[in-house]
Amino acid sequence: MSGGVLRAMIRFENVTKVYEQNARPALDSVSLEINRGEFTFLVGASGSGKSTFLRLILKEDKASAGSVYVAGQNVANISSWRVPKLRRGIGVVFQDFRLLPQKNVFANVAFAMQVIGKSRSIIRETVPEVLKTVGLEGKERRMPHELSGGEQQRVAIARAVVNRPGILLADEPTGNLDPITSMGIMGVLDKINQNGTTVVMATHDDDIVNEMRRRVVELKNGKVIRDEAKALYTSMIPVVGESRRLRDASGEELDRAQGAQL
Amino acid sequence: MRLLFILGEIGSGLRRNLSMVISVVLVTFVSLTFVGAAGMLQMQINQMKGYWYDKVQVAVFLCNDGSTAVGCASGPATKEQQENLQAMLESPAVKQYINDFQFESQAEAYKHFKEQFSNSPIVDSVSEDQLPASFRINMKNPEKYQIISETFSSQPGVETVSDQRQVLERIFSWMNGASVAAVGVAAVMIFCAVLLITTTIRLSAFSRRRETGIMRLVGASKTVIQLPFILEGVIAAVVGAVLASVTLWLMAHFWLNGDLSRQFLNTPFISSTQVLVIAPVLIALGAGLAGISSLLTLRRYLKV
């Protein structure tokens, strides 16, 4: 295995995912590397393959062709009973928070540690630390319905990172939040990234992408059509980007022309 | 920590699905009671076989005044005929099959009859000469009854040769039939129990899909995710099995060894301690069934 593979936290090699035979593949021969400690935005219209990308990293789905490597390990070679171990190394955050409504903030975060058998003393020590990182100190005893959307998402982030995963996957984490709250969440994700966690965030939120100026991978119909460092939500070349956005709904022809331009 | 966590999950699962859990308990209780009853009947049959087969005799009845059998055309058995039969019983050809024999005269037969039916008005309507005298033979091997029957039934002065074992066999076959029926009912009930456990676990998994979804994402092992559900089913079934065992024990203690043994003094009933042998079998059966059906349900309805 080359050094590149080891440096890459996530590596896709010609990955194709077909959900239904004869249908258009959800991912079409995608090759991509995301390095340790990188912050990557995954953008693209609904159905462009962003969620499939994330699911393949988690081994929720199996690639139809090609290989997915996570931390240097081909996930296809991970036996089903070792999948939990893979997932312990990956935190996940969703648009809809997915908190447990009958548990308070502390218990929601502690849950992620309990179920993998962490001792009570470690939980009591770690959870407040993580809650502080996400800016929720003093709200341990609140119930989820007593929190704002932004606070709920912070709880969800705390839960995702409490076991110190190397990777954090965020599937439209700001999709339900207003712009200001969203920026707060981005601050938290950025802080987590600064601590060395590789962050992959699928999003529709152009303001955030433009503000953060991180790597942007754009997917369309299951293909990577753009992969730029320190990029904007749309391409740096204004005319092409604008025209693409306008023509998104129309046919394939334009995509191909665009691919040539890129 | 994980153990505590799993116990907590089981508790909350049982509480959330209380009505379903109770129905699982009741159905396994009823079905395993039938299984246990079938087992008890079999034990009772064995007990009675062991007890009675030593005691049962082959009886060679002699002709009396009222005999209508072909061999009795010449009237009641004479003294010579009786001595002839006794000689035959003592001959080596027959002796090898029997332990011993006694002669029961008409007077003795009447005495035994009066004892046996002391509570019945029938005693008053029977007189001594209506009852036949007989030779009572204890067989070395009760299965060899046929030989005695063939040897004696055609002898002059013999009305009939009867094997008391046949009467018992009829009782046993009736009891066997009852235990088969109990097993049949049990099979249907167990089928119900399995379906109910399946449904309960499915509901339980559905009502906790949020938790299990999060558990999967944070990398909880299969065991931690599935064990609470499986144990939920197993606990309900084991409670049912324990109830069934207690019921059977109570039946044995208060009914078999109480009322029935007072009514049938000569019948050896199984003791309530013997019933305790059935209990672990029932509990293992209940736990096994619940465990397997929960596991299969989870495979289909709980993604891990």
Tell if the CB–CB gap between B220 and A84 is shorter than 8 Å.
Answer: yes
The residues, ordered by sequence, that sit 6+ positions from A186 with a Cβ below 8 Å of its Cβ are A174, A208, A211, A212
Q: In what order do the strands lie in the sheet with A27-35?
A: A27-35, A8-17, A65-70, A73-74
Q: Give me the mean pLDDT over the A58-84 stretch.
A: 93
Taking the C-alpha atoms of residue B40 and residue B59, their distance in angstroms, rounded to an integer, is: 31
Exposed/middle/buried for A211, CB within 10 Å: 0-12, 13-18, 19+?
middle
Select the residue from B211, B212, B217 to test the A interface by mutation, using most A Cβ atoms within 10 A: B217
- Nearest-Cα residue of chain A relative to residue B216: A84
CA–CA min distance B181, chain A (Å): 45
Q: Which of chain B's residues have a Cβ under 8 Å away from the Cβ of A90?
A: 219
Min distance A144 CA to chain B CA atoms (Å): 14
Please compute the mean of the pLDDT values over residues A68-88 and round it to a whole number.
92
Residues A77 and A204 in one domain: yes
Selection from B86, B64, B85 nearest residue B75 by Cα: B64
Distance of alpha carbon B252 from alpha carbon B169, whole angstroms: 23
Give the pLDDT score at B140: 79
Contact check, Cβ <8 Å, A163/B218? yes
Last residue of a domain, one of A107, A139, A164: A164
pLDDT at position B2 = 73
Q: Which fold has domain B54-164?
A: Alpha-Beta Plaits (3.30.70)
For residue A165, is pLDDT > 90?
A: yes
Q: Is residue A79 domain-shared with residue A158, that is, in the same domain?
A: no
Answer yes or no: do A80 and A178 share one domain. Answer: yes
**DSSP bridge pairs for A227:** A217
Instruction: Using CB atoms, pick whichever of A92, A100, A117 lies closest to residue B217.
Output: A92
**pLDDT score at B135:** 87
* Set of chain B residues whose Cβ sits within 8 Å of the Cβ of A116: 218-221, 224
Residues of A with CB under 8 A from a CB of B: 58, 81, 84-92, 98, 100, 111-112, 114-120, 159-160, 163
CB contact under 8 A, B224 and A159: no
Looking at the fold, whether A25 and A45 belong to one and the same domain comes out as yes
DSSP B14-46: HHHTHHHHHHHHHHHHHHHHHHHHHHHHHHHHH
Reply yes or no on whether the pLDDT at A257 is more than 60.
Answer: no
How many structural domains does chain A have? 2
Strands of the B158-163 sheet, one edge to the other: B98-104, B134-139, B58-62, B158-163
Distance of CA B293 to the CA centre of its chain: 28
Chain B residues with beta carbon closer than 8 angstroms to that of A55: none
Dihedral-angle region of residue A225 (phi above 0 means left; psi in -120 to 50 means alpha; beta otherwise): alpha
Nearest to A111 among B1, B214, B219 (CB): B214
Question: Looking at the structure, do residues A53 and A173 belong to the same domain, yes or no?
Answer: yes
Cβ–Cβ below 8 Å for A58 and B217 = yes
Same domain membership, residue A115 and residue A80: no
- Answer yes or no: are the C-beta atoms of A70 and A9 closer than 8 Å: yes
Calculate the CA A209 to chain-centre distance.
Answer: 14
Q: In this predicted model, what pLDDT tens digit does every residue of A90-129 receive, in sequence order? A: 999 999 999 999 899 999 999 999 999 899 999 999 999 9
Q: Count interface pairs A-B at CB distance under 8 A.
A: 58
Same domain, A253 and A174: yes
Q: Say whether A100 and B210 touch across the interface (CB within 8 A).
A: yes
pLDDT tier, A250 (very low <50, low <70, confident <90, very high otherwise): very low
pLDDT, greater one: B143 or A175: A175
Residues A62 and A103 reside in one and the same domain: no
**What pLDDT is recorded for position B266?**
67
In Å, how far is B295's CA from the nearest CA of chain A?
A: 16
Task: Read off the pLDDT of each residue in A220-249 and give the average, rounded to a whole number.
Answer: 69
Answer whether B92 touches A (CB < 8 Å). Answer: no
Q: Is the pLDDT of residue A3 over 80?
A: no
Q: Which of B7, B218, B299 is most worth mutating to test chain A (most A CB atoms within 10 A of its CB)? A: B218
Question: Residue A37 belongs to what domain range?
Answer: 3-89+165-261
Encode chain B (304 residues) as per-residue pLDDT tens digits: 578 888 888 888 888 888 889 999 999 999 999 999 988 888 888 887 777 777 777 888 888 877 777 767 777 778 888 888 888 888 888 888 888 888 888 888 888 877 777 666 777 777 877 888 888 888 877 777 788 888 888 888 888 888 877 777 888 888 888 888 888 888 888 898 899 889 888 888 888 888 899 999 999 998 889 998 999 899 999 999 999 999 999 988 888 888 777 777 667 788 888 888 899 999 999 999 999 999 999 888 887 6
Which one of A82, A115, A124 makes the best mutation probe of the B interface by having the most chain B beta carbons within 10 Å? A115
Same domain assignment for residues A172 and A220: yes
3-state per-residue secondary structure call for B211-259 = HHHHHHHCCCCHHHHHHHHHHHHHHHHHHHHHHHHHHHHHHHHHHHHHH
Domain boundary among A139, A164, A189: A164
- Report whether B53 contacts B152 (CB < 8 A): no
Q: Which two tokens stand for residue A144?
A: 């989820």
Q: In this complex, do B211 and A159 lie within 8 Å of one another by their Cβ atoms? A: no
Inter-chain residue contact B1 with A112, CB threshold 8 Å: no
Instruction: Judge if A14 and A82 occupy the same domain.
Output: yes
Is the pLDDT at A45 greater than 60? The verdict is: yes
For residue A237, name the pLDDT band (cuts at 50, 70, 90).
Answer: low
**Overall average pLDDT of the A204-216 stretch:** 92
Q: Are residues A68 and A180 in the same domain?
A: yes
Q: Per-residue pLDDT for A240 more than 60?
A: no
Structure-block tokens of residue B74: 């010449």
C-alpha closest to that of B197 among B119, B297, B281, B92: B297
**What type of residue is A68?**
V
Residue A249 has pLDDT above 50, yes or no: no
In terms of domains, do A79 and A110 share one?
no
Touching A: B residues 204-223, CB under 8 Å = 210-211, 213-222
**Structure confidence at residue A197 (pLDDT):** 95
Q: What angle do CA A69, A75, A78 make, to 5 degrees?
A: 145
Is a pLDDT exceeding 50 seen at residue A259? Answer: no
CB A200 within 8 A of CB A160: no
Distance to chain A for B215, nearest Cα, Å: 7
pLDDT at position A236, please?
A: 61
For A164, A168, A180, A188, B156, the CA distances from A184, given in Å and listed in that order, are 21, 17, 7, 7, 116
Average pLDDT, chain A: 87
User: Which of B12, B214, B225 to substitute to test the interface with A, most A CBs within 10 Å?
Assistant: B214
With beta carbons less than 8 A apart as the criterion, state whether B64 and B130 touch: yes
The residues in B 3-22 lying below 8 A from A, measured between CB atoms, are 5
Q: Which of A140, A164, A188 is the last residue of a domain?
A: A164
What is the rounded CA–CA span in Å between residue B202 and residue B88?
Answer: 75
Whether the per-residue pLDDT at A6 is higher than 70: the answer is no
Are A84 and B221 an interchain contact pair (Cβ–Cβ within 8 Å)?
yes
Kindly write down the DSSP assignment for every residue of A35-52, as one continuous string: ETT-EEEEE--TTSSHHH
Q: Is the pLDDT of residue A146 over 90?
A: yes
Position of tokens 């039916």? B117
Domain boundaries, chain B: 2-53+169-301, 54-164
Whether B253 and chain A come into contact, CB under 8 Å, resolves to: no
Q: Residue A119: its chain B contacts at CB < 8 A? A: 1
- Contact at CB, A163 and B1, closer than 8 angstroms: no
Q: How far is B2 from chain A (nearest CA, A)?
A: 5
What share of chain A has pLDDT > 70, as a percent? 87
Q: What pLDDT is stored for residue A17 in this prediction?
A: 94
Side-chain-side CA neighbours of B193 within 13 Å: the count stands at 33
User: Looking at the complex, does the CB of residue B96 fall below 8 Å from at least one CB of chain A?
Assistant: no
